[in-house]
A and B are shown apart, each in its own frame.
Chain A
Amino acid sequence: MAGPISWQLATVTAIRDETPTVRSLTLRLPTWSGHRPGQHVDLRLTAEDGYSVERSYSIASEPERADVVEITVERIDDGEVSPFLDDVVVVGDRIELRGPIGGYFVWEAPLGGPLLLVAGGSGVVPLMAMLRHRSHAGAPVSARLLCSSRHFEEIIYREELDHLVSNADGLKVFHTLTRSQPPGWSGFARRIDERMLAEVLEPFGISARAYLCGPTALVETAANVLVRLGMPPDRVRTERFGPSGT
């Protein structure tokens, strides 16, 4: 049996704004055995009087970066933790953390591909760890990311994704903007549906490995469509957040 996953004290070494409501924190860890892309960490925040809360965050960074993990936090206005991480935390602060956690929603280069990634909003975070890892490992795996955001300004990692695509190493990124589109927008402009997924999946066919992360409704829709298109359910891995909407 594995030893306990212990709490450790991480130091915030960098903070980067991703969108007006999303920012990334780089956390340096005293002891980190490494993680697999797709895994998450637990954070624990404790007030002066001992009041304490825990939350899970997907790891955004690739395992090739030693001794640090990066998390990307979307500010939920009525949330208890994300406004603190987005407004109060500064470089040099220390936060309790433990991990890595989770062993199913993971992709590593030896698993191969082709890789179909589908993200809704901040669901792109664990998928970004996979793409960063793929790039660092020089993995010759074709990959396609379909990313759903509400507005252009809300696309997380937009410039870095553009940069990864410009490496011309077999990655294609598709964006869909569901609420508003800038003038001259050439991407998709609707919620993810069967026609869109079929178009993105087409060159891969049902041999792809699919990883879906986002709000429940989006993931539920996309997973059902992929199975209907003929993908074996055990090649469709999902991570969902938010209420069921039912």
Chain B
Amino acid sequence: MTERFVTRGFEGRRGPKDAGQADVASRIPPGQYLTTDFPVLSAGPTPRTPLDRWSFSMDGLVHQPVGWTWESFLALPSRDWTVDISCVTKWTKLDMRWRGVSVDTLFEHVDLDPTAAFAIAWSDGGYTTNLPLEDILNGQAFVAFEYDGKPLSPEHGGPARLVVPGRYFWKSAKWVRGLRIQSRDEPGFWESLGYHNRGDQWLEERYSGD
């Protein structure tokens, strides 16, 4: 069905489009609604790794794997990021303020194998998500450790989570502990459970086959 069916009696509350806020409306991807909350979605219990046992690693197709402790990770250059986030469960939240380390900065510390093409982000609790390098380099992704001026809470992925604003939020792995670099793609947790492999919210790539 390509043509949309008009639902009898549905008018809708309308959003910014009708309020003349075209600038806001243009930031809401198709099928999404605006929220001011910060909903929590996770498939299981919230893992809690003490900071003295926390580490972040880059390995796989790199000439020399590299790892950071919590202190050395915080010592990396970081910056503030204000980004819009869209979750596949349909909410979009604008102007979310984070502080974190650019993925570009992390990649400055490794020599990539010429065949490197994908990153698998992996997390405490066993979560994984796959991303082509072209989706996370050049300022498109960061590892956040603060949200709204405060340390990132465990429910929202603290102590550190990947943030990839250009993709649905499941790609922004909570409790992230490392990036494994590969030459071949490998579907992660949700990508293996019916969700889209790439997850571009502007193309409404929600589910496998979209």
Contacts and interface: CB of A to CB of B under 8 A. Distances in A.
Interface of A: 1-9, 44-48, 50-56, 80, 84, 88-89, 93-96, 101-105, 216, 220, 223-224, 226-227, 233-234, 236-244, 246
Interface of B is mostly: loop
Interface stretch (B5-13, B52-60, B68-76, B136-144): B5-13
Contacts of B40: 216, 220, 240, 244
Contacts of A1: 208-209
Contacts of B89: 56
B46 interface: yes
A238 B194 contact: no
A143 to B, nearest CB: 20
A51 to B, nearest CB: 5
Interface string B1-41: 10011111111111001000000000000010100011111
Contact of A246 (B155, B193, B194, B207): B155
B180 interface: no
A94 B8 CA distance: 8
A242 B91 CA distance: 11
Contacts of B95: none
Contact of A3 (B4, B39, B193, B209): B209
Interface residues of B, number: 41
Q: Of residues B17, B40, B45, B90, which shows the largest number of chain A Cβ atoms within 10 Å of its Cβ?
A: B45
Contacts, number: 130
Contacts of A96: 1, 4-5, 7
A45 B150 CA distance: 38
B44 interface: yes
Given A44-B4, A96-B4, A240-B42, A56 B13 contact: no
13 contacts: A4-B207, A4-B209, A8-B1, A46-B4, A46-B7, A52-B31, A88-B10, A89-B9, A94-B5, A96-B5, A223-B44, A234-B44, A244-B156
B41 A240 contact: yes
B183 interface: no
B39 A101 contact: no
A243 B207 CA distance: 24
Nearest to B156: A244
A94 B1 CA distance: 14
Contacts of B82: none
B90 A55 contact: yes
Given A56-B89, A236-B45, A104 B193 contact: yes
B31 A54 contact: yes
Contacts of B194: 2, 5, 101-103
Q: Can you list the 3 inter-chain pairs with the closest CB atoms, starting with the nearest?
A: A243-B37, A4-B209, A103-B193
B210 interface: yes
Given A6-B1, A88-B9, A223-B46, A242 B208 contact: no
A233 B41 contact: no
Nearest to B42: A238
Nearest to A56: B89
A44 to B, nearest CB: 7
B45 A223 contact: yes
Contact of B209 (A2, A48, A50, A88): A2
Contacts of B190: 104
B12 A80 contact: yes
A110 B210 CA distance: 30
Nearest to A226: B45
B203 interface: no
A5 B6 contact: no
B154 to A, nearest CB: 9
Contact of A216 (B33, B155, B209): B155
A8 B126 CA distance: 35
Nearest to A50: B4
A90 to B, nearest CB: 9
B46 A224 contact: yes
Contacts of A93: 7-9
B33 A80 contact: yes
A242 B35 CA distance: 11
